[in-house]
Amino acid sequence: MKEKRVLNHGRIRLVEQMGGDGAVVRAARRCWRSVSKGDASDHRLLVHLLKHNHGTPFEHAVFTFDIKCPLFVARQWFRHRVASYNEVSLRYCVAEKEYYVPDDLEPEGRITYDRTIRQAFEVYDRFLAEGVRKEIARAVLPLALYTEFYWTINVRSLMNFLHLRLAPGAQHEIRVYAQALLEILEETMPVTAKCFQENALNPQVPSREDGP
Amino acid sequence: MKEKRVLNHGRIRLVEQMGGDGAVVRAARRCWRSVSKGDASDHRLLVHLLKHNHGTPFEHAVFTFDIKCPLFVARQWFRHRVASYNEVSLRYCVAEKEYYVPDDLEPEGRITYDRTIRQAFEVYDRFLAEGVRKEIARAVLPLALYTEFYWTINVRSLMNFLHLRLAPGAQHEIRVYAQALLEILEETMPVTAKCFQENALNPQVPSREDGP
Amino acid sequence: MKEKRVLNHGRIRLVEQMGGDGAVVRAARRCWRSVSKGDASDHRLLVHLLKHNHGTPFEHAVFTFDIKCPLFVARQWFRHRVASYNEVSLRYCVAEKEYYVPDDLEPEGRITYDRTIRQAFEVYDRFLAEGVRKEIARAVLPLALYTEFYWTINVRSLMNFLHLRLAPGAQHEIRVYAQALLEILEETMPVTAKCFQENALNPQVPSREDGP
Amino acid sequence: MKEKRVLNHGRIRLVEQMGGDGAVVRAARRCWRSVSKGDASDHRLLVHLLKHNHGTPFEHAVFTFDIKCPLFVARQWFRHRVASYNEVSLRYCVAEKEYYVPDDLEPEGRITYDRTIRQAFEVYDRFLAEGVRKEIARAVLPLALYTEFYWTINVRSLMNFLHLRLAPGAQHEIRVYAQALLEILEETMPVTAKCFQENALNPQVPSREDGP
Span A139-187, pLDDT tens digits: 999 999 999 999 999 999 999 999 999 999 999 999 999 999 999 999 9
Reduced to 3 states (helix: H, G, I; strand: E, B; else coil), residue A206 is coil
Q: In the CATH scheme, what is the code of domain D3-85+147-199?
A: 3.30.1360.170
Across the interface, whether the CB atoms of B120 and C132 are under 8 A apart is answered no
CA of A183 vs chain C CAs: smallest distance (Å): 24
In sign, the C-alpha dihedral spanning B193, B199, B204, B205 is: negative
Across the interface, whether the CB atoms of A112 and D123 are under 8 A apart is answered yes
In sign, the C-alpha dihedral spanning B74, B79, B83, B84 is: positive
What pLDDT does B131 receive? 96
pLDDT (average), residues C55-82: 98
Span D90-140, pLDDT tens digits: 999 999 999 999 998 999 999 999 999 999 999 999 999 999 999 999 999
E strands in chain B: 3-6, 10-18, 62-70, 84-87, 146-154
Residue ranges of chain B with per-residue pLDDT less than 50 = 203-212
Span C135-194, pLDDT tens digits: 999 999 999 999 999 999 999 999 999 999 999 999 999 999 999 999 999 999 999 999
* Domain residue extents for chain B: 3-87+146-199, 107-140
Across the interface, whether the CB atoms of B53 and D164 are under 8 A apart is answered yes
Q: In the CATH scheme, what is the code of domain C3-87+145-199?
A: 3.30.1360.170
Closest CA to C137 of B7, B117, D123: B117
Exactly one of C33, C165, C175, C208 is catalytic; which is it? C165
Whole-number Cα distances in Å, C185 to C4, C56, C60, C188: 12, 18, 14, 5
CA of B186 vs chain D CAs: smallest distance (Å): 24
Whole-number Cα distances in Å, C64 to C80, C158, D8: 15, 11, 38
Indicate the fold that domain B3-87+146-199 takes in CATH.
Answer: Gyrase A; domain 2 (3.30.1360)
Of B25, B29, B30, which to mutate for an interface test with A (greatest number of A Cβ within 10 Å)? B30
What's the CA gap between A30 and A32, in Å, rounded?
5
Of D53, D54, D206, the CB nearest to B52: D206
- What DSSP string runs through A120-155? HHHHHHHHHHTT--HHHHGGG-BTTBEEEEEEEEEH
Q: Side chain identity at A44, as an amino acid letter? A: R
What pLDDT does D95 receive? 98
Q: Which residue does chain B place closest to A65, by CA atoms?
A: B60
ipTM of the complex: 0.93
Per run of 10 residues, the mean pLDDT along chain D (length 212 residues) is 92 97 95 86 91 93 98 98 98 97 94 98 98 98 98 98 95 98 97 91 49 42
Reduced to 3 states (helix: H, G, I; strand: E, B; else coil), residue D177 is helix
In this prediction the pTM is 0.95
CA of B27 vs chain C CAs: smallest distance (Å): 26
Of B45, B52, B160, B166, which to mutate for an interface test with D (greatest number of D Cβ within 10 Å)? B52
* A205 contact residues in C (CB cutoff 8 A): 52-53
What's the CA gap between D167 and B53, in Å, rounded?
12
Whole-number Cα distances in Å, A203 to A52, A154, A156, A165: 18, 22, 18, 10
Of B53, B154, B161, B164, which to mutate for an interface test with D (greatest number of D Cβ within 10 Å)? B53
* D200 contact residues in B (CB cutoff 8 A): none
E strands in chain C: 3-6, 10-18, 62-70, 84-87, 146-154
